[in-house]
Amino acid sequence: MNRNKILVVSLTSFITTLFFSSSAHAMHISEGILPFNWAALWFAVTAPFVALGLRHLNLLAKEDLSMKPLVGLIAAVVFVVSCMPIPVPTAGTCSHPCGTGIAAILVGPFVSVLVAAVALLIQALFLAHGGLSTLGANIISMGVAGSFAGWLVFRGMRKIGASLAVAGFMAGLLTDWATYITTSVELASGIRGSEPFSPLFWKILLAFIPTQLPLGILEGAMTAGMVVLLYKKRPDLLVKMKVLRAGEVAA
């Protein structure tokens, strides 16, 4: 599939999701759930990661002009993957795959944070998934925690000799679970009032388990499948994105 066909497929998926996705349940942390001080704190924590993401993207683009369109395609994938909500009423939010694992593997964790920020902003503005006041918190959980967990796990697994499939699976799995552990921390911190943090944190985390346990496994399988497919069809892209060294590609 050439680049034009990939672009058409990505844009079609984006438009379909944009106009036909249900907005009956808000994804991520919903608008208005976090108090102002906590929402502001998460925005402050997010800001340097987004700034570094922009810097890393510009550095990649200086090395190779084709990187920006590739990052755009990855952003479209993350947008579509994370638009699959499964409501969790007991947690005040929704479960869903994240997609930031594959983004972090391909373009690094900082650019993946930027990709997540763009996807979350579009979802908040046009799909009522998440919210603008909680955008900082959602970027921290899905973008920062998810991206760095996936990237570190993938790199660590590869260093100890794991195959692309195994490393990709574990990266996707831990990306998903790290996102929801972080979301549980954010929710428990923001809504606990005068109550102790720990009991509420565990209640929220346990509320996610029925949906997030299988979704984590599914995301692991999707991430592994994407990495292996790229290795079979376009290993040059994996070399370009420094996922593999040239000597690791089969002739």
State the CATH number of the domain containing residue 174.
1.10.1760.20
Tens digit of pLDDT for each residue in 147-179?
999 999 999 999 999 999 999 999 999 999 999
DSSP at 30: P
**Phi, then psi, of 92 in degrees rounded to 5:** 75, 20
| Residue 154 to residues 7, 25, 126, Cα–Cα distance (Å) | 27, 32, 33
CA atoms of 7 and 10, how far apart (whole Å):
5
Q: Are 157 and 171 in contact (CB under 8 A)?
A: yes
User: How far is C-alpha 150 from the geometric centre of its chain's CA atoms?
Assistant: 9
87, pLDDT greater than 80: no
Q: Apex CA 160: angle with CA 154 and CA 163, to 5°?
A: 60
16, pLDDT greater than 60: no
Listed in order, strand segments (DSSP E) in 28-180 are: 86-88, 93-95
Give a yes or no: residue 51 inside a domain. yes
> When comparing pLDDT for 110 and 83, which is higher?
110
Percent of the chain topping pLDDT 90: 49
Full residue range of the structural domain in which residue 48 is found: 35-242
Closest CA to 31 of 129, 140, 139: 129
CA atoms of 76 and 167, how far apart (whole Å):
23
3-state helix, strand, coil in the chain (%, to 5): 75, 5, 20
Give a yes or no: residue 25 inside a domain. no
Mean predicted lDDT score pLDDT of the chain = 83
Give a yes or no: residue 107 inside a domain. yes
DSSP at 25: S
Cα(first)–Cα(last) distance of the chain, in Å?
Answer: 20
Give a yes or no: residue 132 inside a domain. yes
> Residue 94 pairs with which residues in a beta bridge?
87
Give a yes or no: residue 20 inside a domain. no
What's the pLDDT at 14? Answer: 39
Q: Are 160 and 130 in contact (CB under 8 A)?
A: no
DSSP at 29: B
What's the pLDDT at 27? Answer: 55
Q: Are 82 and 143 in contact (CB under 8 A)?
A: no
Give a yes or no: residue 13 inside a domain. no
Percent of the chain topping pLDDT 70: 84
Of 19-23, 68-72, 120-124, 230-234, the poorest mean pLDDT is in: 19-23
Total count of domains within the chain: 1
Give a yes or no: residue 225 inside a domain. yes
Give a yes or no: residue 160 inside a domain. yes
CA atoms of 203 and 188, how far apart (whole Å):
9
Q: How confident is the model at residue 142 (pLDDT cuts 50, 70, 90)?
A: very high
